[in-house]
Structure formats: C-alpha cells, structure tokens
Amino acid sequence: MKNFIQNLPKAELHLHIEGTLEPELMFKLAKKNSIKIPYQNVDDVRKAYEFDSLQPFLDIYYAGASVLITQEDFYDLTWAYLLKCKDQNILHVEIFFDPQTHTSRGVAFGDVVEGISEALNDGHEKLGISSFLIMSFLRHLSEDEAIKTLKESLPYKYFIKGVGLDSSELGNPPSKFQKVFRMAKNAGYKCVAHAGEEGDASYIKEAIELLGVDRIDHGVRCEEDRELMKRLKDEQIPLTMCPLSNLKLKVVGDLKNYNLKKLLEYGLCVTVNSDDPAYFGGYLNENYEAMAKSLNLSKEDMKTISKNSFKASFLDDEDIKKIIYEI
Ligand code: HPA
Ligand code: ZN
C-alpha cells in the first residue's frame, strides 16, 4: 500500500505554507534574522508540539512564523515544501498563506507574496508542479482588518487564486465575514473557508450559504446535520479533510473512529490533505497511509481520494479530466 500511495498522482488542497516550517529551518532563520525563539534546540521544538485543541497549536504556529522576515525566507520555506511534493508525487498544490500574520509584524505584503510566488514559479518550471495561492483571512481579527488585507492584495491579484478563512474557529463564525467574501468574489477570487473543525455543522452551513464557498476546509462535523450532508452530496461541495491534523488537535481521539470512510461511502467529495505537516507529524503520503491503515481503505478507495483531489481543485476542467483518466 505504501508504494501504491507513493506512486499515486495527488493534489494537495489544504496546506498552510507557514505550517511547513520545519524546526531546522526555524532555527536557521531565527539565527539569520536575530529573532529570539523560546527553544534551545530542534528536539526542544518537537517536544513542544503536544496540543489538546486548536488554540494552543495556533499560539505556537504564529510564534514559529515570526522567524520569516525577508522575501528570500518565504522563497526558501516554499521551495522546501515543493521538494517534498516532488518526493511524494504531488503534481498540483493549492497553498494557503496568512498575510496578516506577517504584515502585523511589519513585513511587506509584497515580500510575502513575491517570495512564495517565485518559488511556485520555479516549482512549475523545474519540478513540474502546478500551483495556486490562496490568501487566508485570520478569523480571530475583525472583518475590517480582512477588508484592509483584501485591498492590499489587489495589486498582486495576478499571483492569488482565491481567499480562505482560518485561525480560531469557535466564536468566529463565517457570518462575521460576509462582506469581505462578497467583495472578494466580486474581485474574481475563488472562495474557501475552514469550517466544522472545532465549530459545529452550522459553521459549515454558514460558509456555504453566507460566504458562497467553493469548498470546505475540514468539514469533519458535517455529519451532525442530515440536510447539510445531502446538500454536500448533491452539489458535490468538496471537503479538504486533514486526518493527522485532526488527530494531533484532538478533533478525533483515534483515527479508527474518523468519519472519512463513512463520508466517502455516503458519496461526498472527500479529499485528504496535510494542513500543517511540520507540526502534525506527516506530509501528504503519511496522511493517505494513516487513512488506509486506520480505516482499512482499499487501493480503489485511495484512487477515489486522489481523483477527488483533482476534481476538487481549481484546475481547468480539461486538465482535471486528463489526470483523472491517467489515474
Ligand atoms: N485550523 C485553523 N487555522 C489554521 C489551521 C487549522 O487547522 N492551520 C493553520 N491555521
Ligand atoms: Zn487548515
């Protein structure tokens, strides 16, 4: 199965580029940029990665991102992830970045976008990996701040495919961001949102009905609402699920009880993704392997999941058809 998963062509649709910052690069950049981090060494960092919910993870994840300062840092971070993609036979990636995490520290929006985009461009030319960039709004901040970020992004629109919504879910429902998503849609951006990771099914419903998203990031808790399940199925609204993330952040206690198989069998367009692989102990193939093992999934199931990853992507229909045929 491991070889089968390795050889399967895959797309990754739920990946925070800041969540690919491995401790080794964190230390290297901290030293180069003279940024203090609260760890003595790489082992120390890994030991700190024990979380009992989303918020303690986010606190550490934002602290880690503080070592990223220059355009070159964002290039190096992205390039390291793309090399990993090449290793894992990932042909297409749709990457989130959190501009507010960086602009709030005085890093220029353009440095972030251009550093990431240059690496993505090289990834296409040198590694044959296609990609899109998705700008995520931090939902613990206000909608006005999200609108300011949206406006800042417009000169760089050429580099950005869509907008997303991430960070602390509970207490920050999609309804808080209706205006900025409407503006983003009018500007021609695709829309996605994290929903139903810690928030209940109403967050997913709101993301669809009030934000008009093209897909749901996570969506684990959709099962709580039968009508919503039917809509997700009828309209084939994709879920970008992240098993190792959900295990690490205790969204699920044991992957043997994870609902991915059930949702797949019900007919939802379920995909598997890695979220923040440097923090959650596995990149994309490790997530596929965890699903195969814990849920006893077959090679056919793995193929369905990889086909779904392209079907749910923002690639052109013709490109999607071609790759699905090849799979
Ligand atoms: N949930 C919400 N925000 C995030 C996550 C996540 O899993 N990863 C990075 N930002
Ligand atoms: Zn995420």
Q: pLDDT band at 77, cuts 50/70/90? A: very high
Q: Is the CB of 95 under 6 A from ligand 1?
A: no
**Is 318 a known active-site residue?**
no
Distant-in-sequence, close-in-space partners of 230: CB < 8 Å, separation ≥ 6: none
Mean pLDDT score, 246-257: 98
Q: Partners of 92 in the beta sheet?
A: 11, 130
- Cα of 18 vs centre of ligand 2, distance in Å, is 11
- Cα of 322 vs centre of ligand 1, distance in Å, is 32
- The predicted-structure confidence for 207-224, as pLDDT tens digits, reads as follows 999 999 999 999 999 999
The alpha-carbon radius of gyration of the chain (Å, integer) is: 18
Q: Which ligand places an atom closest to the C-alpha of 140?
A: 1
Q: Is the CB of 194 under 6 A from ligand 1?
A: yes
Per-chain mean pLDDT for the chain: 97
- Cα of 166 vs centre of ligand 1, distance in Å, is 5
Phi, psi (degrees; rounded to nearest 5) at 6: -55, -45
- Cα of 97 vs centre of ligand 1, distance in Å, is 11
Please write down the long-range contacts of 46-55, taking CB distance under 8 Å and 24 or more positions apart: 49/248, 49/279, 49/281, 51/248, 51/249, 51/250, 52/250, 53/198, 53/249, 53/250, 54/168, 54/169, 54/197, 54/198, 54/249, 55/168
Catalytic residue among 22, 94, 197, 289: 197
- The predicted-structure confidence for 154-175, as pLDDT tens digits, reads as follows 999 999 999 999 999 999 999 9
Q: Is the CB of 215 under 6 A from ligand 1?
A: no
Distant-in-sequence, close-in-space partners of 260: CB < 8 Å, separation ≥ 6: 241, 243, 270, 272, 291, 295
Q: Partners of 131 in the beta sheet?
A: 93
Domains recognised in the chain with CATH numbers: 2-326 (3.20.20.140)
Q: Which ligand places an atom closest to the C-alpha of 240?
A: 2
Helix (H), strand (E) at residue 184: helix 178-186
Q: pLDDT band at 4, cuts 50/70/90? A: very high
Angle of the 299-311 helix axis to the 317-326 helix axis, nearest 10: 170
- The predicted-structure confidence for 96-148, as pLDDT tens digits, reads as follows 999 999 999 999 999 999 999 999 999 999 999 999 999 999 999 999 999 99
